[in-house]
Each structure stands twice: as C-alpha cells, then as structure tokens.
C-alpha cells in the first residue's frame, strides 16, 4: 500500500509540475518564410490575391489529389472562402477565408481547421518591391495554443514542422510565376 501511495504522489507531482510549467510557457507561435520572385510586384500580388491560385503552388493541396474543394464568394475579395475535405489526415478538413486586403501589399486569411483537430489560426501573404522586376513575397502563419495545451510548444518546433511547407510552396510559386 505504501508503494502505491508513493507512486500516486509522484504521478500527481509530475502533473502539477507540468501544469505550473505551462503557466510560464508562451502560448503564441509564428512562422514566416520568404522568397524573391523575378516579376514586378503588381503581377505577383495580382496572382496571389486569387485564393484559388494557392492550389497551384501550395504543398498542402498536393497531398491529396482527390481532395474535395468548395469555394464561396468572389475570389480575390474579403469574405471569399476556400474549403477542403480530405480523407488524408495530413490534409484534413477545413477552410480559409480572406479577411483583409491591403491592396498591392498584403492579404490576411483566417484558417479554420476542423479535422484532424479543431483550431483557428491567422495567415498572411505580403509583397514588397525589391526592384522594378523583383518582388519579395512573405508567407506567414500565426497561432495560439491555450493553457495547458501550450505545454506542447516546448516539444514542438513549429518553424521546423510548418516552415518547410511554406518554403516549398514559395519556391513552387517562384517557379510558376517565372515561367
């Protein structure tokens, strides 16, 4: 009986330590990648403004060619929604909505993931003129993990997990636009 109590106290101690630690762990995370495309800013922005065009360069849409896609609203305008549904757990189910457009400069999106887990995150694409014939494109993603789930951020490198997908997508965009 004494051993059982000791084991129980150790387990409770570990749980309490984890919960206290989570109080001091950041809750927000951010990933941003960029690429320079050899095209004028207006041309690049015009292309990325159309959310459907992400299907041509985003690595996530290539995960499942049989993915069901649905679009609502007018592409390239605030309120346009691109929804997806896939049996592949790496693609899952969710939707992306254009929430704000700073004409010629930035597009903000809300990502609403439904499967394999529910969460909401913010994403954006920014264009900056590097020269008359070059544009820097930044693609970013921010999110939040509430307490006590934020403890997982100690063990997860979001930049490593998601950053490579953003880099690959941006490189696909560069190749596509520079043809």
| pLDDT range class, residue 48, cuts 50, 70, 90 | very high
End-to-end CA distance of the chain: 74
* Element at 171 (helix H, strand E): helix 158-177
- Are 98 and 113 in contact by the 8 Å Cβ rule? The answer is no
Residue with the larger pLDDT of the pair 18 and 47: 47
pLDDT class of 53 with cuts at 50, 70, 90: very high
What is residue 90's predicted lDDT score, i.e. its pLDDT? 83
3-state DSSP: the chain helix, strand, coil percent, rounded to 5? 40, 35, 25
Domain residue ranges in the chain: 27-177
Residues 76, 51 contacting (CB under 8 angstroms): yes
Strand order in the sheet with 28-37: 28-37, 134-144, 119-131, 106-115, 93-102, 81-85, 68-72
Q: Mean pLDDT, the chain, as a whole number?
A: 91
Side-chain-side CA neighbours of residue 109 (13 Å)? 26
The per-residue pLDDT for 157 is: 78
The whole model's pTM is what?
0.82
pLDDT digits (tens, 9 = 90+) for 114-139: 998 888 999 999 999 999 999 999 99
pLDDT of 36 reads 98
Question: If one looks up domain 27-177 in CATH, what number appears?
Answer: 3.30.530.20
């Amino acid at each position: 009986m004494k051993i059982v109590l000791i084991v129980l106290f150790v387990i409770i101690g570990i749980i309490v330590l984890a919960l206290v630690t989570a109080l001091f762990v950041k809750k927000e995370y951010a990933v941003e990648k960029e690429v320079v495309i050899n095209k004028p800013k207006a041309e690049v922005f015009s292309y990325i403004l159309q959310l459907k065009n992400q299907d041509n360069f985003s690595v996530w849409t290539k995960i499942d060619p049989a993915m069901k896609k649905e679009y609502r609203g007018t592409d390239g305008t605030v309120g346009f929604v691109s929804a997806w549904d896939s049996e592949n757990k790496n693609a899952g189910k969710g939707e992306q909505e254009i929430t704000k457009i700073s004409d010629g400069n930035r597009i903000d999106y809300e990502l609403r993931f439904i499967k394999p887990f529910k969460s909401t995150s913010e994403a954006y694409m920014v264009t900056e003129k590097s020269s008359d014939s070059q544009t820097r494109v930044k693609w970013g993603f921010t999110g939040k993990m509430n307490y006590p789930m934020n403890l997982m951020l100690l063990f997860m490198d979001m930049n490593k997990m998601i950053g490579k997908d953003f880099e690959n997508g941006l490189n696909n965009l560069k190749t596509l636009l520079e043809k």
